[in-house]
Amino acid sequence: MNKDQIPSLSQMFRFQWEEAQNSYVILYPEGMVKLSGSAGEIMKQLDGEATVASIIQNLSDLFDGADVGDDVIAFLSEAESNGWIEFKQ
């Protein structure tokens, strides 16, 4: 992964707020993954146009300049390995 790549949700998954879980979730045919608050904030940034670098910057701005780069990259790497997201250049 490089910071110029654009992550997007894989087609077989759906990302949404789930009131019953009081959190964002990723839904797929066999079930659901409940996301942490920070993972939900990262997933909310995936619009099919934002690069990894712009997602990091947006989240840093949202959280008063916090250094979120390593956490964002770690989550996106895990999400990709789980098949939840794909990258395009």
Q: Residues 33, 25: contact at Cβ < 8 Å?
A: yes
pLDDT of residue 19: 97
- Please give the structure tokens belonging to residue 83: 């098949």
Q: Which residues pair with 26 in a beta bridge?
A: 15, 33
pLDDT band at 1 (very low <50, low <70, confident <90, very high): confident
User: Class for domain 6-82, per CATH?
Assistant: mainly alpha
Sequence-distant (6+) residues with CB within 8 A of 15 are: 9, 24, 25, 26, 27, 43, 46
Model confidence pLDDT, tens digit, residues 35-76: 999 999 999 999 999 999 999 999 999 999 999 999 999 999
Tell me, what's the pLDDT at 88? Answer: 87
Percent pLDDT > 70 in the chain is: 99
Checking if the pLDDT of 10 tops 80, the result is: yes
pTM listed for this prediction:
0.93
